[in-house]
Amino acid sequence: AYADRAFASEAADLDPRDRALAMRLTYGAVQRKATLDAITRRLTGRSPRRLQPALRAALRLGLLQILFMDGVADHAAVNESVELAKVAGAPAGLVNAVLRRAVREKEEVLAELDDSTPAGAAEAHSVPAWLATQLWQELGAGEARALLSVINEPAESALRVNTLVAAPAQVSRDLPVHNSPAPGIPEGLVLGGPLALEDSEMWREGAIMGQSRGSMAVAHALDPQPGDRVLDLCSAPGAKTTHMAALMEARGEIVAVERNPRRARSLEQTCVRMRAGCVRVEVTDASEARLDGPFAGVLLDPPCSGLGTLQSRPDIRWRASPEQIEALAQLQRGMLEAAAAATAAGSVVVYSVCTISRAETVSVIESFLSDHGAFGLEDSFQLLPHRDGTDGFYVARLRRSG
């Protein structure tokens, strides 16, 4: 299971405060498992792969709290991990010994983590070795280390005010947590503390949508106008779809394409909640040629490796691979062909992916433009978490010439 979905199920009955701590523990243990296992190997002299799963889990949770989390007393982290091992039938004595040693040798253990090379960075920041090497090659050593230094920190907490329902200033006043305007995004708010969005009346009324500033930048790049006819390819779960509807004042039409029937139904429900009455959801493949064009604007947000969301999606780094990225790039290029075919002279195509790999971003656009002289690149940008404080997104705006 994906960690976020498994967590949502298991933590459903926790109160908000306990749920927030449980999420930090869960996501942290998944994100930092390579680092935690390397430290386990040093402190025990054993390969973590040879330890029974319950023992490995207790050690990961204990080491995470002792070495990487503030607000939890060391003795509490040790005691709770020992009790967890007992309940699971794991060797509690070993857990106790290893974690007490980690408390005594905390500074030495952390000092041994060295991110000066790709191999060292993979261990220090808990990413696959191939990913650290790729970041070194594509970003350079300094930028790669800066990026890796933030990927295990909590993700940005932001929301979009649905201007079809409410005014940003009013929502800002009514929120129970400190918030500030998102620079350059009038309807965006950056939250200064945790907020259970889906438990709030404003969420139920469709006034707010949890969305990163990087994601919010995509609809603005397309800049749909009231009365436009827009094609939204790979549209679920609907944050960008409903954002475009709000920018269009729900006037015009958005044809939202989603291949998965279950996700399409969820998208329809989201559009109803967000009062996006101009959206028509269509269950079909985004790669298929359109017979109902042309459209004034096309948004293509295709499947990608998600490497720009390492902070908010804890297990994405362990699911991605070079082979997957290569296959995705081919899929993305095919979908971009379909998006381009649905346009006429003067139409705009925006290509958006929440990743940072060159193969899925610049290379896709360069390859497409080399084969399509009728299109020109009007603008493109790459957001990076350590530099921009939000999810990593690549966005390219293309226009078909006359």
Residue 313 pLDDT level (bands cut at 50, 70, 90): very high
Closest CA to 314 of 186, 102, 153, 143: 153
Residue listed under structure tokens 């902070």: 311
Q: Which of 4-13, 117-126, 270-279, 327-336 has the lowest mean pLDDT?
A: 4-13
Sheet holding 179-182, edge to edge: 179-182, 185-191, 158-161, 208-210
pLDDT for the residue 1 = 83
Of the residues 271, 278, 304, 354, only one is catalytic, namely 354
Contacts of residue 125, Cβ cutoff 8 Å, sequence gap at least 6:
35, 115, 132, 148, 149, 151, 152
Between CA 352 and CA 299 the distance in angstroms is 8
pLDDT above 90 as % of the chain: 93
pLDDT for the residue 16 = 82
- 208-230: pLDDT as tens digits: 999 999 999 999 999 999 999 99
Pairing type for strands 253-257 and 229-233 reads parallel
Query: What's the one-letter identity of residue 189?
Result: L
pLDDT above 70 as % of the chain: 100
- 367-393: pLDDT as tens digits: 999 999 999 999 999 999 999 999 999
354 counts as catalytic: yes
E-assigned strand segments in 129-183: 158-161, 179-182
Which pTM was predicted?
0.94
- 88-127: pLDDT as tens digits: 999 999 999 999 999 999 999 999 999 999 999 999 999 9
Between CA 99 and CA 74 the distance in angstroms is 9
pLDDT for the residue 346 = 96
- Kindly compute the dihedral angle of the four CA atoms of residues 143, 336, 215, 353, in this order, to the nearest 10 degrees: -30
